[in-house]
Chains A and B, each alone.
Chain A
Amino acid sequence: MTRLVVVGNGMVGARFTADLLAADVAGRYRVTQFGAESSQAYNRVLLSDVVSGTRDLGSIMMPQLAHARLETSLGSTVCEIDREDRVVVTADGRRTRYDQLVLATGAAARVPDLKGLGTAGEPPRGVRTLRTIDDARGLAAASMNSRSAVVLGAGVLGLEIAAGLARRGVPVTLVHPAPTMMERQLDEASAGVLADAVLGLRIGLRQGATASGIVADEDGIRQVVLSDGERLPCDLLVIAAGAIPSVALARRAGLVIDRGVVVTAGLASVNDPRIFAIGDCAQPPSGSLGLLAQGWSQARALVAHLTGTTVPADSVGTDDVVRLKAPGLDVVTMGICGTRRPDLPGHRALTVADSGAGRHIELVIHRGRLVGATCIGAGPIAAQLLTTYTQRTPLPLDPLALLLDRSAYDLGSAAREEPEDLCRCNSVTRARVLDAVATGAHTVDEIANQTRAGTGCGGCRDELERLLSRGDADAATVKSL
């Protein structure tokens, strides 16, 4: 029996354990899992929906796995790893031995150094981040009474929060240090179209602006001060300035840390093969994207490695798709796109710049496959591009066709001219029906008796009625045309 300890009960940690116990049919592993939050696992991706009020908290709770070989400790923070004795120590002093250890400690909100925020202790009232379920609960509650909010950071999370608060009717200003928003995913042109859409939601925008400090009193935050001196009055400040891998525990244990816990392609710590790291706290050779899909594929890969099995993929999705879940903003990026698009020879970019319509689409094509795309305001086209990208299915000869819907097609010479039957269920042509009318059929039933038209699904009976109402003479005329 291998004693496996998992530190972290978030989306990646919980998923890892569920997959491991399912794959470990031989029963080789006994798992102890620690979760620092007292809540059961929840779907972190959906926290911003709670903020926007499009769903309630109860609907994001994840299953708490029950298993004979699993012990789960919630509200239990691991504060020390003793690598020599192979023990983890929790805050209450409990020691748990491990043969193998998996770190899935995730990440914490990055809080920039702001004057007036203080470095220790509680921040002033009204200053929040969004990382945990408690954060979401608190932020949703705070938005009820807020008369003015500032969101710091216009990345994916910041945009979702800003749009969510706007949806709740809170006046919002979005402050972003870079000249354009979502700069990890979007180039300047597409970010500009998105900025227009943000302004359309009545969200104030300060791009290329850094917050330098805050002003607070006993009631909480009053102002955000920008480095150019502008002061934004607010009673709510949400900091969405990225995340920092939670590696303090690993660092204390002497594991090699860079941004995250440095791991091999096999997800083992480079200086302790008994310790693995997955999810946001890990830094694999290929780099961390900070996206859930990557964490889930790491969990699957590690389970496969530990159990020597193949863990079936469950269509998690591809690691590098970003889709904004912000009410009123339609943004999807995938693969090589925007600022991540290298000007490599052989990579072809096809761009539809339609800022007037709030639309910007760019396709990146390499060797006849879609290797990346940016979709702003693209509507249902984005959904089709997603499967084209994730499945690597063949592209049209002219990839521009990817952006067309069926109404844009004139099948012309590509399709053989097939005379459409008036009654398809019984292969009855219009000419045959008109014949029947000309030879004395006066009702739909009489037409049916003569031709069988209208006797299948019945869908053409209206058409038969119309045809009859025009009168036999007209029908005969139509026929002669």
Chain B
Amino acid sequence: MGNATTHCPYCALQCGMTLRTDSGLRVEPFDFPTNQGGLCQKGWSSAVVTSVADRLTRPLLRGAGRDLVPVSWEVALDHIAARIRDIQAEYGCDAIAVFGGGGLTNEKAYQLGKFARLALGTSKIDYNGRFCMSSAAAAANRAFGIDRGLPFPVTDLAGARAVLLIGSNPAETMPPFVRHLDAVRCRGGLLVIDPRRTRTAALTELGSGVHLAPRPGTDLALLLGLLHIVLARDALDRDYLAQRTSGFDEVAAIAVAWWPERVEQVCGVPVADLHRVADVLIAASPRAGGSGAYVLSGRGMEQSSHGTATVTAAINLALALGLPGRRGSRFGTLTGQGNGQGGREHGQKADQLPGYRHIEDPASRKHIAGVWGVKPHTLPGKGVPAVQLLDSLGRPGGPRALLVHGANPVVSAPDAEQVSRRLRGLDLLVVADVVPSETAQLAEVVLPVTQWAEEEGTMTTLEGRIVRRRKAVDAPGAAQSELWIWAELARRLGAPSVWPTEPAAVFDELARASAGGLADYSGVSHDALDKAQANNRGIYWPATESMLRFDLEQGDPADHLGTPRLFLDRFAHPDGRARAVVVTPREPADPVRREAPIHLITGRLLHHYQSGAQTRRVPELLEAAPAPIVELHPELARRHGITSGALVAITTARGTAYARARVSLDIRPDTVFMPFHWGGLGSANRLTAPTTDPTSGMPDFKLAAASIALVTTALPAQEVLA
């Protein structure tokens, strides 16, 4: 192995990095457009994860003594195959469920979907992206006909006069992204909506923009209020609306009922501040002759049982100003997980086939069945979304077994205690991971797998840019790629079709399967990407075979860029128009009340990633953020006798979690914030509700009614809270 140019294992910005192997594995930033040479501490320290002390290096099987003991691959895979056969013989194909992850490479995400449908014959597959991008995806599909998080290169943001970030904290979650906001901050145009004064919100200060801190759960009303002001100022882009959209009149009519003074009462945002934000947006919009405005959504507004509607409200605002589908202006969403974009396109979703196809569409089934060499009717139908899937485990009629790949739902799913109980009730739990995550520790079989620096593949960035992941070192011990594991299991289960284990070969099959779909990768291959890589930029989907052929015949194949900007001529609905859809605010599923009088919101810290399984094992990250915290306002703290560092208990209708207090003026006095990177007693998701969005299946991660108390008695397992 030698040095390799690749991308960070963590978030969807997919920062470019060079892996050096001269003295152990070492990371250096690489000047890729998404990170412009930057890396955060997670990226810098990512090499550590390849060699953490408890790295999984051998398959583990729970023996008679109930301990996990090392076994050979042969034993582990034979055991899994036999158990699957037995369970399916008794309960049917759907008795085996699969839970995937948004961190898996495109090749793995594709192959996992295929494995579920062909080798297991199950409809019961979904993935942790349901907890991440599902609301934004549902809203974008409905409005534009395609869901590509940012339908433009992130570097376009440099030209903006205004950027509205709603419920997103990139300064903490993808720090190098902030470089793309430098220009708009100089123009005073950074607009941030967040109940907390986050690091991102603080970037608006000193004349760089405006921060609005609404009461949690009221984003939709706030967005209707902004739309109302746009209407009242007669700042609608009427030509754009007439030529490129449908349904806007009904939306405008609803917004009339959300005048600023009403919005102030609901959201707690001063009328004057609403006007300030609207002013900046209007002045930046193309109709007013501005240099462009962007509306960008994040998990803060999306992760609720009203998430799809809230994103739709943001899209409606963008449509009113004529932003989507225009060069220099846009609507977009900031995808979270490393392959959160590619992972949601190729079949991990319960209702999806590769290429962002719908599993119930006969033409899609026929095409995919053709690629896979099976009859269309043998493909299972639509499954159920993640929360419902996890809740059905082990229940009568529900799955008896679960295979988990690239996810840690014991920490990341809502109402996590209940999820643990469901997993414990299974006949078989198989977890493939690089470390013994909280979920792996409950498994009957644990499979050690390769990770980023140890494998080839592709990822798709938050902009729909397909980039290459490259191998620098061999995986330790007996760790294997999931591609090999699924091929081995497919063979044992007598599955049809072919099961290549080389990532380039799997990608070629993915490309064929995606051909003609919304997310069309058919003009892409590892080879093509390696050429593009020389030009340092990846390829944007849709990148069809005919586009590649044109580049090969007529131009320089190294110029093969795919589609950097979507929708410039038309949106992806049959009539070419973007759809404005009427949405109205709603009271939260779990409103504050006397016994639970404060809002609980959850989110991330700079030094950890998702369930923390990787980052909590990196000493320098753990030193920077050693334990769960609860952020609260000094007045709320004083009321409960809490000082910074004190152990506090947060209780909701689901349960109680414990964490150290961090007293801060950066949060509203009616709200507490808890990061979700820890399991056990410090797990924020012990508190969150499994109520889900009717359209997207997204649970209510971002809003719960809670009470807070100072812990004065000794706590079991207090040591986990440091």
Contacts and interface: CB of A to CB of B under 8 A. Distances in A.
Interface in B240-278: 250, 253-254, 256-257, 259, 261-262, 264-273
Interface string A392-431: 1111110001000010010101111000000011110000
A353 to B, nearest CB: 22
Contacts of B176: 456-458
Given A55-B232, A380-B273, A425-B175, A394 B639 contact: yes
Contact of A415 (B257, B269, B597, B644): B644
Contact of B259 (A45, A314, A409): A45
A63 B258 CA distance: 13
B592 A393 contact: yes
A59 B39 contact: no
B638 A424 contact: no
Interface in B5-48: 29, 37-41, 44
B584 interface: yes
A455 B38 contact: yes
B360 interface: no
Contacts of B587: 312-315
A64 B586 CA distance: 21
B175 A457 contact: yes
Contacts of A179: none
B670 A414 contact: no
Interface stretch (A109-117, A316-324, A466-474): A316-324
A409 B665 contact: yes
A32 to B, nearest CB: 21
Nearest to A58: B234
Nearest to B200: A457
B178 A323 contact: no
Interface in A6-62: 42-43, 45-46, 49, 54-56, 58-62
A359 interface: no
B606 A458 contact: no
A318 B665 contact: no
Nearest to A66: B250
B215 interface: yes
B586 A314 contact: yes
B199 A424 contact: yes
Interface stretch (B98-106, B499-507, B528-536, B629-637): B629-637
B639 A396 contact: yes
B157 interface: no
A415 B634 CA distance: 8
A235 B265 CA distance: 37
A301 B182 CA distance: 50
B259 A46 contact: yes
Contacts of B669: 388, 393-394, 396
Contacts of B645: 416
B270 A383 contact: yes
Interface in B326-383: none
B231 interface: yes
B130 interface: no
Contacts of B639: 394-397
A321 B171 CA distance: 37
Nearest to B171: A457
B603 interface: no
Nearest to A55: B232
Contacts of A452: 39, 41, 44
B265 A318 contact: yes
B38 A456 contact: yes
A391 interface: yes
A81 B111 CA distance: 70
Given A383-B268, A383-B269, A456-B41, A63 B250 contact: yes
Given A425-B41, A425-B175, A383 B264 contact: yes
A174 interface: no
A397 B598 contact: no
B152 to A, nearest CB: 21
Nearest to A457: B178
B256 A60 contact: yes
A427 B256 contact: no
Given A45-B259, A414-B644, A427 B607 contact: yes
Contact of B644 (A314, A386, A406, A416): A416
B643 interface: yes
A43 B256 contact: yes
Given A425-B41, A458-B38, A411 B663 contact: yes
Interface residues of A, number: 58
Contacts of A339: none
A459 interface: yes
Contacts of A321: 265
A58 B178 CA distance: 40
B594 A312 contact: no
A55 B273 CA distance: 18
Among the interface residues B197, B221, B271, which one has the most CB atoms of the partner chain A within 10 A? B271
Interface in A245-296: none
B720 to A, nearest CB: 20
B44 A455 contact: yes
Q: Is the interface of A mostly helix, strand, loop or mixed?
A: loop
A409 B638 CA distance: 13
A414 B662 CA distance: 9
Contact of B234 (A56, A379, A380, A455): A56
B634 A409 contact: yes
A443 interface: no
Interface in A315-344: 315, 317-318, 321, 323, 325
B218 interface: yes
Interface in A101-124: none
A325 B171 contact: no
Given A452-B44, A456-B41, A457-B178, A313 B215 contact: no
A393 B254 contact: no
B198 to A, nearest CB: 12
Contacts of B218: 315
A254 B179 CA distance: 72
B270 A379 contact: yes
Contact of B643 (A49, A64, A315, A413): A413
A388 B215 CA distance: 10
A384 interface: yes
Contacts of B261: 323, 325
Contact of B215 (A391, A392, A424): A391
Nearest to A368: B639
A337 to B, nearest CB: 15
B620 interface: yes
A133 interface: no
B234 A394 contact: no
Interface in B159-201: 171, 175-179, 182, 197, 199
B585 interface: yes
Residue from A56, A406, A456 whose CB has the most chain B CB atoms within 10 Å: A456
Given A380-B270, A393-B598, A401-B635, A59 B232 contact: yes
B620 A427 contact: yes
Interface string B616-628: 0000100110000
Contacts of A415: 634, 644, 663-664
A325 to B, nearest CB: 6
B178 A458 contact: yes
A452 B265 CA distance: 45
A424 B269 CA distance: 29
Interface of A: 42-43, 45-46, 49, 54-56, 58-64, 312-315, 317-318, 321, 323, 325, 379-380, 382-384, 386-388, 390-397, 401, 406, 409, 411, 413-416, 424-427, 452, 455-459
Lowest 5 A-B CB distances belong to which pairs? A63-B253, A387-B268, A457-B178, A396-B635, A416-B644
15 contacts: A43-B256, A59-B256, A63-B250, A63-B253, A64-B253, A312-B586, A325-B259, A379-B270, A393-B598, A394-B670, A401-B635, A411-B663, A426-B41, A426-B44, A456-B38
Given A312-B586, A394-B670, A455-B29, 12 more contacts: A315-B221, A383-B269, A387-B265, A391-B597, A396-B636, A396-B639, A413-B643, A415-B664, A427-B620, A455-B38, A457-B40, A459-B203
